[in-house]
Amino acid sequence: MTELLSDSAYVLESLPELWFGLVMLALGVYLLLDGFDFGLGILFAEADETERKTMLAAFGPLWKANEVWLVLFGTVLFAGFPAVYANILSRHYVLVFAILLALGLRGLGVKLREERDDQQWTRFWDACFVAGSTAAPLLLGAFVASWVLGEPSALAGGPIVVGLTVVALSVVLGAAFLAIKTSGTLRRRVVRRGRTATAIYVALFALTAAVLFGRYPELQSRLWSLPTAALVAATLVFAALSVVATSSGRYHGAFLSAAGLAATFVFFVALLLYPAVDPAAGLSISDAIVSPLSLNLTAIFAAVFLPIIGAYFVVLYSLFGGSATPEHSYH
């Protein structure tokens, strides 16, 4: 107990680094869970009305819960690195408002499309849903890249190409999710779109590495390293496994492969950032972490509540684990 209440030492010497890992974990889970939501929204654009009802039924019980991980990411970052939280929000407040607008637009699209029996009304809100689902991962990717690269603007080359990469990854995730949840023509089409998106994602991942290598000399040693080579190899392996899995009808395997792509991407982000946590302000983990007493106590709350949140998501996805139908039901 004395160690927990100490204001001179962390209960674990590596607790600041573990907290940095927790920030990346929350970011990764959010990218995975809301990533397939975004991908579903992008694929929504070419679906007919019956297919759209099936797609909405597939993610209806899940998408609001998935956004908990965005809140958790912000909470963990604030709890461990409040100066970084304040810095990145103040530097990119216009981008943050744009992200919130995109998330709100897709939410309104889902909620309002069925409020009136009017085709024009439905088409308008469907367009809002697609636009929000496309803009959100683009802007989120640009936001993360601006943070990691210390860029003052999201309109620089690095943030733009990373944003496009996250959009392609979202389509891969969305197609893999829908392949599990649907059947027939819709499943065959999303599988084809997923394969195309996988190829585009691999190309954009390579382009991201090339752009970063060319524009950010301080990152060249990390990009030209064994860990980066391992992440590139893992990306190629997961992409190949995804294609093989969909070709043999193993759709759960395809989703796990897509999840592997998302995890690899977040490891790449962490590799570029560590040991800094706010490159633009020149803050490392040891510079920005809160005092031992605050982090020790916050770590106790995290140890108690994170397993509860994890168990909630296991129960939620178990309850709605079956395939979806246009009648908004599961079987």
pTM: 0.92
Mean pLDDT in order along the chain per 10 residues (331 residues) = 69 91 95 91 92 88 84 94 94 93 92 85 94 96 93 84 96 94 90 95 94 90 92 96 90 94 95 93 93 91 92 87 67 43
SS (H, E, C) 65-123: HHCHHHHHHHHHHHHHCHHHHHHHHHHCHHHHHHHHHHHHHHHHHHHHCCCCCCHHHHH
Listed residue (98, 144, 99) closest to 279, CA to CA: 144
How distant, in Å, are the alpha carbons of 8, 26, 173, 230, 239 from that of 197? Answer: 50, 24, 9, 22, 10
| Domains parsed from the chain with CATH numbers | 14-320 (1.20.1630)
Listed residue (200, 194, 184) closest to 48, CA to CA: 184
Measured CA to CA, the distance from residue 316 to residue 331 in angstroms comes to 15
The three-state secondary structure class of 67 is coil
Contacts of 15 (CB under 8 A, 6+ apart): 295, 296, 299
Beta-bridged to residue 276, according to DSSP, are 284
The predicted structure's pLDDT at residue 6 = 66
The predicted structure's pLDDT at residue 197 = 96
Contact 282, 237 (CB under 8 A): no
How distant, in Å, are the alpha carbons of 53, 177, 185 from that of 191? Answer: 18, 10, 10
The predicted structure's pLDDT at residue 242 = 93
Contact 139, 159 (CB under 8 A): no
Residue 19 is which amino acid? W
Contact 54, 186 (CB under 8 A): yes
151: left (phi over 0), alpha (psi -120 to 50) or beta: beta
The predicted structure's pLDDT at residue 231 = 95
